[in-house]
Chain A
Amino acid sequence: MDITGRKLIVKALAEEGVDTVFAYPGGMITDIVDELYKQEDKFRLILPRHEQALVHEAEGYARATGKPAVCLVTSGPGATNAITGIADAHYDSIPLVVITGQVAQPLIGNDAFQEVDIVGMTRSIVKYGVTVRDRKELGRILKMAFYIAASGKPGPVLIDIPKDIQQKSGPEEYPSHVDIRGYKPNTSVHIGQLKRAYKTLRNAKKPLILAGGGIHISGAEKLLTDFARRMRVPVVTTVMGKGSMPEDDPLYVGNSGMHGRYAANMAEMECDLLFSIGTRFNDRITGDLNEFAPKAKIVHVDIDTASISRNVVVDVPVVSDASLALTHLLEWAEPLDTADWQAQIAGWQKEYPLSVKVKEGLNPQVIMEDIADVFGEATYVADVGQHQMWATQFLKLVGNSRLFTSGGLGTMGFGFPASLGAKAADPDRAVVCITGDGGFQMNMQELATSVCDDIPVTICLMNNRYLGMVRQQQQYFYGKRYELTYLGKRDRNVLHPDRFENMDPFYAPDYIKLAASYGIDGMRVSREEDIIKALQAASAAQKNGHSYLVEFEISPEDVVLPMVKGGMANSDMILR
């Protein structure tokens, strides 16, 4: 029996086990929306207030569940608004199936109303993208989308479906599997190569594990922790890899890279073997490539062949999923004598412990530590900026805690919507969004989504009245000329660094009143003794099903340290 394309689309979602759809309606997807209405009991529909936020919400959902999240947006502006989110998912390997409506095929190419070539526009930021041109192909293409998004190195897949395909009748079959001749993700590991990697590790005197985001994607946190403990090898992480190992473990050194811990970067400089898993050696991690891990042999385990030996020349490459490789490694693992090496690392920790010194206002370090104390095992979602780096430095992730953040693309505005997606995925788990006043303003319209779709989260807003990360660059590298980074009145910018104390009192918006207008309670905190109280109120509110906004007033002068200037060696850290 033949069915319409729209019916097949919804059938496909059901057969893929999709329970939540992030959707914003529009002319070219009303058919699909109407079909979802008829099967309302099968799907939870979430209606964001902007398509960029929609995709970030889906990212949060996908990171939390490990399954592809489904986005449904209309043609033209609906699709173009989604692009930033799609790029973000691409850089952080997040599985998404993005369905965009498209004008009917006879209209394509006519500059029709709300027509854009979204497949062309997103070609370099999707794992796969295609316009469905034949109703008979629809089932196979949808199956491909879910398979490609989730397998291998995950990523976003975009399926552009013209309106006539949605309405046209055709085969009702949704295939149970697809065979794609040009796509064969790695599902095994070359044992010989892995043994070589292990032998190299065994012979090292100062071995170091570098764990990236691939550990989380693969769900290999426990395997990695067991392996490091059994071998007694210290571990550093990337921003995306934070939480790969419980942070109270003595073997955990900290984050490395541009704003990494002194000890972590020094360990990378001094190690004689860097055993890296699930990282693409992004420039924020390596700094100057010529001086990255200069004394070390490098082992690189990654599912993506194209990530191996791209930025860093690797001595032992292993193409494999992290869990699979670690399962084998764990079988062979025997303790190494790393006592001296660990002592050397501990010495660096003591030499320059990570800490924030503030002249006035709340201390971001204390805020982060208190957040972790109050919420404990939870999902933390950081936006992009100084607060993000403080979160990576001071938010102690214990137990099964996770930190989601936009690591690759560095998308301001990611945090708040992504936290809503994470909460929608796991309503019983506490979700805390840590954001700044710049990033929050990029997607704060989602307060409506939180309220109207009943997705309660805690918003910790670090307000320093500046785009602090750029301001910090201006302070160190641009002669303290704070152009465009002040978020108060343009003509009242405190351009001189010594005059921060003469801050203009005006600031917009008033976040507490803003939240109140959505029916969300909040508290502005300017004294250290109120931090815990506010966080406890927020935690209680979330348990009762309400969002809560805590605004922390911090000084514009606070800086994230250590800092490695872009392109410099990681040993070249600005420490104070």
Chain B
Amino acid sequence: MKNRWIALYVENEVGVLAKVSGLFSGKSYNLQSLTVGTTEHDDVSRMTISVEADDVTFEQIKKQLNSMVEVIKVMDLTDVPIHSKEILYAKIAGIDSEGKDEAFRIAQAFRIRVIDIGKDSLLLESALTERRNNELVALLKKTYRRIEVVRGGAVAIESISTSCR
């Protein structure tokens, strides 16, 4: 099993998201994350899909996606250089000033921002890779008792220069 990335161009139509996500549930594929948004063309949406699968299953997933009428193009991003980021918000509540200081240090170390603050709470905004966000969440869980995390799922695009990943 290996984590894989697919970028999918689909028709920007009602029901397409349900059809694509339904394929993963209906055929028991292990979907990690799926994001969708419109592209530079109003009638085309692009999905970024992260899935855990062995080689044979992954080939099958790509073929099944390809055979959908609403799918315009399937791109396998697993082994190509990409830029990938996921937006994440983390609200930390019930903290004193010492807790806030620690949060600022964490923000500095992870190169993310504190974007809102209250008497005993604080809000972090992160746009890192999914993996880095996982590490952030793990640390926050260890450090604080009351946190609220919302994540957007990763989006990915191919690199221009092949040297950066």
Interface size class of B (residues with CB under 8 A): 20 to 34
Residue B28, interface by CB 8 Å: no
Report the minimal beta-carbon distance from B6 to chain A, rounded to whole angstroms: 15
Report the minimal beta-carbon distance from A410 to chain B, rounded to whole angstroms: 19
Residue B18, interface by CB 8 Å: yes
> How far apart sit A446 and B70, CA to CA, in the bound complex (Å)?
37
Residue B59, interface by CB 8 Å: yes
Q: Are A120 and B69 in contact (CB under 8 A)?
A: no
Q: Which chain A residues border B72 with CB–CB below 8 Å?
A: 181-182
Residue B15, interface by CB 8 Å: yes
Q: Binary interface profile of A, 285-326, with partner B (CB < 8 Å = 1, else 0)?
A: 000000000000000000011100110010000000000000
Q: Binary interface profile of A, 115-148, with partner B (CB < 8 Å = 1, else 0)?
A: 0000110011001101101000000000010001
Contact of A127 with B69 at beta-carbon distance under 8 Å, contacts A133-B14, A306-B64, A310-B60 already known: yes
Contact of A182 with B18 at beta-carbon distance under 8 Å, contacts A306-B63, A309-B56 already known: no
Task: Choose among B11, B22, B56, B59 the residue that contacts A182 (Cβ–Cβ < 8 A).
Answer: B11
Contact of A180 with B69 at beta-carbon distance under 8 Å, contacts A123-B18, A123-B22, A306-B60 already known: yes
Task: Across the interface, name the chain A residue whose C-beta is closest to B64.
Answer: A306
Q: Are A182 and B60 in contact (CB under 8 A)?
A: no
Report the minimal beta-carbon distance from A517 to chain B, rounded to whole angstroms: 43
Residue A183, interface by CB 8 Å: yes
Q: Which chain B residues border A144 with CB–CB below 8 Å?
A: 69
> How far apart sit A17 and B7, CA to CA, in the bound complex (Å)?
40
Q: Are A183 and B22 in contact (CB under 8 A)?
A: no
Q: Are A123 and B15 in contact (CB under 8 A)?
A: yes
Report the minimal beta-carbon distance from B86 to chain A, rounded to whole angstroms: 27
Q: Which chain A residues border B18 with CB–CB below 8 Å?
A: 120, 123
Tally the A-B contacts, defined by beta carbons under 8 Å: 43
Task: Choose among A124, A182, A304, A313 the residue that contacts B70 (Cβ–Cβ < 8 A).
Answer: A182
Q: Which chain A residues border B59 with CB–CB below 8 Å?
A: 309
A143-163 contacts to B, CB under 8 A, are 144, 148
Task: Across the interface, name the chain B residue whose C-beta is closest to A127.
Answer: B69
Q: Are A131 and B56 in contact (CB under 8 A)?
A: no
Contact of A305 with B67 at beta-carbon distance under 8 Å, contacts A124-B26, A130-B15 already known: yes
> How far apart sit A113 and B41, CA to CA, in the bound complex (Å)?
38
> How far apart sit A284 and B59, CA to CA, in the bound complex (Å)?
23
Residue B83, interface by CB 8 Å: no
Task: Across the interface, name the chain A residue whose C-beta is closest to B59.
Answer: A309
Residue B111, interface by CB 8 Å: no
Report the minimal beta-carbon distance from B20 to chain A, rounded to whole angstroms: 10
Task: Across the interface, name the chain B residue whose C-beta is closest to A157.
Answer: B69
Task: Across the interface, name the chain A residue whose C-beta is closest to B10.
Answer: A182
Contact of A183 with B69 at beta-carbon distance under 8 Å, contacts A124-B22, A124-B26, A306-B60 already known: yes
Q: Binary interface profile of B, 15-56, with partner A (CB < 8 Å = 1, else 0)?
A: 100110011001000000000000000000000000000001
Residue B149, interface by CB 8 Å: no
Report the minimal beta-carbon distance from A290 to chain B, rounded to whole angstroms: 14
> How far apart sit A306 and B10, CA to CA, in the bound complex (Å)?
19
Q: Are B14 and A182 in contact (CB under 8 A)?
A: no
Residue B66, interface by CB 8 Å: yes
Q: Which chain A residues border B66 with CB–CB below 8 Å?
A: 305-306
Which 7 A-B residue pairs are closest in the complex by CB-CB distance?
A306-B63, A182-B72, A128-B69, A183-B69, A124-B26, A305-B63, A182-B71
Known: A127-B69, A310-B63. 5 other contacts (CB 8 A): A130-B15, A180-B69, A305-B67, A306-B67, A310-B60
Q: Which residues of B contact A (CB under 8 A)?
A: 10-11, 13-15, 18-19, 22-23, 26, 56, 59-60, 63-64, 66-72
